[in-house]
Amino acid sequence: MSCAGTTIILTAGDVAAAARNRNGLTYKGFGVLSGNATSSLLMDYKAEQPQAYWRLLETLFGGERPLMNTVKVEMGNDRNNSTGPNPCVMRDRSEYPAVGREPGFQLAADARRYQPGVRLSLLRWMAPTWVRSNDDVYRWYKNTILAVYREYGVMADSVNPDVNERTADLEWVAEFARRVRTDTEGFLGDGTDDPNAGFASDEERELFRRIKVITSDEEITGTFAGDVIAQPRYLNAMDVASYHYSVEDDPDGNFTRLAEEFDKEVWNSEAQAVFSNSADRPNNTNGDGVDDPRACTGLGGPGGSLEMANTLIKGFVESRRTHAIYQPAIGACYEHMEYAAKELVSARDPWSGWIYYDAGCAALGHFARFSKLGWESADPDEPADTHGIWRAIPQASGCAVGGNNPVNGARHGEPSYLTLAAPDGGDFSTVIVNDSGLTARYRLVVDAALAACGKPLTIWRTAAANPGERYDAGWLKPVAIVEPTRGEADITVEPWSMVTITTLDTVNRAQDGTLSAKPAFSPNLPVAAEHSRAVLDQDPEHGVLYADDFAYADAPTVETMKHGQLVREDYLASRGGDAGATPRYTTDSNGAFEIVPDETRGHALRQQIDWTHAGNAWIEGDPRTAIGDMRWANYRVSVDVRFEEYPGRAPYVLLGAREMGGDKFTTDICGYDFKLRADGVWLLRRYGDEKRRGHLEDLRKAAARAGASAFLPGAGGWFTLALEVAGPTITVRLNGAKVTEWTDDRPQSAGRVNLGTSFDHVRFSNLRVERLDGWSPYYTALIDDMHLVSWDDGVTSVLEYDGDWTHENGQGMFTYMRTISRTSSAGASLSHTFDGTGLDVFGPSDGGARIDVLVDGSLVAPQVRTMATSGALRTQLRVEGLERGRHTVTLRLANHALWQVDAIGVLL
């Protein structure tokens, strides 16, 4: 079936009018947002896997037509602002900004290795506790900006002085703009003799004064445009109008007016990328939204790359958005935390170097590869088209797709297209998205007065791969060359696909007619091979999964771009230095766990935030950091701990195991944790629920029985905690003495390690995660329920479903990869062939489903009741203890209860 045709008309007059607009219609392109702890593992890639790190930056920021040109940093206060905190670089008013501990600043500097003009934009979330007035805000911003420039040679290009996702304070925005543009003081030092005070050079002062001012990063359609237009002082102060997610204009069309009449930039300054991953998306049964409720939507459907592209198109058509910054573009944090699985690039395993580039990158390539994106000269004495930046043409763009956030009302083939044109009219590209099961038809009509009229039109398409092809075989590929007739051409867009039609000379044509990309237009997205995510298993010979003394004496130096030069830095200096350096393989969810000098250990891990410095948060909670591989299953984790002196009530330390995310409240996120107060009171908990409790006298007795060192209450002395998770049994030891043991009748079977504290200063040293004799240490793979076939060839079976199943995208953030597979039909089954000793099944469960377990064709356990769970990555069924080797396990629903599968863990 096909939908009614749509005509796109591009005229010389419309292109010329757009060319006269310097800011409002120039299509800027796309950016990376670094915030919410989503860059927490990025510096680990840089240090441990530099080849993968630099390839990532080259992929996103390199080439003549880069995918990205902006890095936006959300300045934080060490408190959670969704996935986690951003480190505060000024914890006290007088502190010189420790900009090395913020990975976003290094990202912006390093990106300039491949694109010297990469822009840096700043916004604040919650403020440090010393910031209590606008004068303090200005000091925080200014000193941070100048410290970044002095350290890396990157001056901020734009700043929103307001708070993220709050109603605009236009008086403050105007005052901030005045201060920036007239600043004569420079860096605000700590006293008159501070050598950092003032501007370091005339160039520094002039660059600072050129910073553009943004309003207002609201999370809804902006509420400020009418006031800005009505008040000349506000209009003069504001360079960029921005808001998040919504594609709509306000009821009076003021954002369109800001772009077209007042030549202001309008951004989507926090946009959503792809939900789930596109490599497995074609295995869905999402339904076409019209006739077939279980039709496959290919790359399309809820939260897919086509929806993302439609959001860009509708954002321009409705509200003239010409810049989109993705939160996050790079998911360099541990997975399955709050707002998980909504990124363009996944970088979860710095120990392996594994990085996955989603089809969302290909979708952005449809805009970026076939145009010249960016900014025109800000000098009013220069022509508006000095840099030749392509304009988005309103009259040749349209979008009838329904929805706002998400833009998902496309299932009847509603037209959606955006035309970008060179200011001289010599070339153009039109992006068309068809997020439906219908064939879409377009007629493209180009004015004969345009130099582009009559040029051959090359069609580039992104769609799902065919069976037997690698997952990305259909992403951003040239598929046809169309010769227009008198400036007109008919274009057909296949279901669940997007295309770019361009006059640029982008392909080579072989004698047999095969098209191949010219190098400058190749997508060049690296491929994530099947079985390329190695488990963190540091020293198998000695049974050590991971060990960290937090000293890094033997760590190699790290390459960093500073002032346009690649330089080598000491490992800890590159991550923040003695003021507090980011430890390896950690993602904080609240607080700040950093490496500091230690008089007895050389260096130690310290939780830095006390109650005096604990500012406001998005999600309240105590300091926590996650460490290691989510696939670790049975292990012993131990760590040395020391309480520093404390002024009031006794602080606590927490050691956690088997943490797989799945909740925004991370204080109680571990499957199991041991919480010890400095006065000797202790708890063993399961997801925050108390299972065992004791006191100082219990610890003394345990030490005496074991002949171990007694725990000394209060501050000052080092002691060692250990937590063992072996199948369903949890054991706690302190200084080697067994404190308690508990057996769980519904065990959580795998997950990362956590360290935690109260808002007090607590030190850690000698973290060790070790195998346990007789137990499988980890999953060789954690397989998403929608991973049916190998990414390598699209045909080799991974998970085999038989019977009446649905496989759906569009699930919530705490469903792994935002996908779920469901059945209620007795006899429906799931099979997997693997090398190992067993497998575990994860998914939401009320405990009602009963499963027949077949191993290598034989029924070994009939009607096994699933365990009730409280979430998606929670263990509902365990098939363990098989002889190590190759097995096929089939799980068959034995009754008519609802069975939901979210993931499968394969035990070594």
Write the pLDDT tens digit of every residue in 232-249. Answer: 999 999 999 999 999 999
Q: What are phi and psi of 364, to 5 degrees?
A: -65, -35
Nearest alpha-carbon partner for 637 in 721, 719, 693, 703: 721
Q: How far apart are the first and last CA of the chain?
A: 49
Question: Is the pLDDT confidence value at 1 over 80?
Answer: no
Among 91, 497, 93, smallest CA distance to 300 is for: 497
Residue 317 host element (H or E): helix 305-319
pLDDT in the model for residue 54 = 99
**Tens digits of per-residue pLDDT, 267-316?**
999 999 999 999 999 999 999 999 999 999 999 999 999 999 999 999 99
Q: Give tens-digit pLDDT for 110-154.
A: 999 999 999 999 999 899 999 999 999 999 999 999 999 999 999
Distance CA 611, CA 684 (A): 25
Please give the pLDDT value at position 382: 96
pLDDT by residue (tens digit) across 804-848?
A: 999 999 999 999 999 999 999 999 999 999 999 999 999 999 999
d(CA 690, CA 479): 61
Q: Is 458 helix (H, G, I), strand (E, B) or coil?
A: strand
* CA gap 595, 578 in Å, rounded: 7
CA atoms of 738 and 414, how far apart (whole Å): 66
Which residues, including other chains, have CB under 8 Å from residue 166's CB and lie 6 or more apart?
Answer: 216, 217, 218
3-class secondary structure, 13? helix
3-state secondary structure 123-159: EECCCCCCCCCHHHHHHHHHHHHHHHHHHHCCCCCEE
Q: Is the peptide bond before 216 cis (omega within 30 degrees of 0)?
A: yes
207-220 pLDDT, tens per residue? Answer: 999 999 999 999 99
The DSSP string of 331-370 is E-S-SSSTT-SB-SEEEEETTTTEEEE-HHHHHHHHHHTT
- Amino acid in position 891: L
Mean pLDDT of 866-872: 94
Q: Please state, in angstroms and rounded to a whole number, the distance separating the CA atoms of residues 190 and 211.
A: 24
Q: What angle do CA 759, 762, 764 make, to 5 degrees?
A: 140
Say whether pLDDT at 175 is over 80.
Answer: yes
Q: What is the per-residue pLDDT across 565-580, written as a single tens digit (0 to 9) for each?
A: 999 999 999 999 999 9
758-812: pLDDT as tens digits = 999 999 999 999 999 999 999 999 999 999 999 999 999 999 999 999 999 999 9
φ/ψ of residue 888, rounded to 5: -120, 120
pLDDT at 2 exceeding the cut of 80: no
DSSP assignment of 257-307: HHHHTS--EEEEEEE---BS-TTTGGG-----SSS-TT---TT-STTSHHH
> Residue range 609-618: average pLDDT?
95
Residue pair 316/334 in contact (Cβ under 8 Å)? The answer is: no
Cβ neighbours for 206, distance < 8 A, ≥ 6 positions apart: none
Q: 23: helix, coil or strand?
A: coil
CA neighbor of 217 nearest in space, from 269, 142, 289: 269
Q: Sorting pLDDT into bands at 50, 70 and 90, what band is 4?
A: confident
Q: Give Cα 744 to chain centroid, integer Å.
A: 34
Closest to 103 measured CA to CA, from 478, 582, 492: 582
Instruction: Give residue 24's pLDDT band: very low, low, confident or very high (50, 70, 90).
Output: very high
Mean pLDDT, the chain, rounded, equals: 97
pLDDT value of position 123:
97
Read off the pLDDT of each residue in 702-721 and give the average, rounded to a whole number: 97
622 pLDDT higher than 80: yes
Output the pLDDT for position 200. 98
What's the Cα-to-Cα distance from 2 to each of 183, 456, 737, 874, rounded to whole Å?
A: 60, 25, 72, 44
Which residue ranges form the domains of the chain, and what is each CATH number? Answer: 540-771 (2.60.120.560), 785-907 (2.60.120.260)
Q: Residue 465: pLDDT above 90?
A: yes
* Confidence (pLDDT) at 192: 84
Q: What pLDDT shows up at residue 344?
A: 98
Q: 334-348: buried (b, 16+ CB within 10 Å) or exposed (e) per residue?
A: bbbbbbbbbbbbbbb
Q: How confident is the model at residue 365 (pLDDT cuts 50, 70, 90)?
A: very high
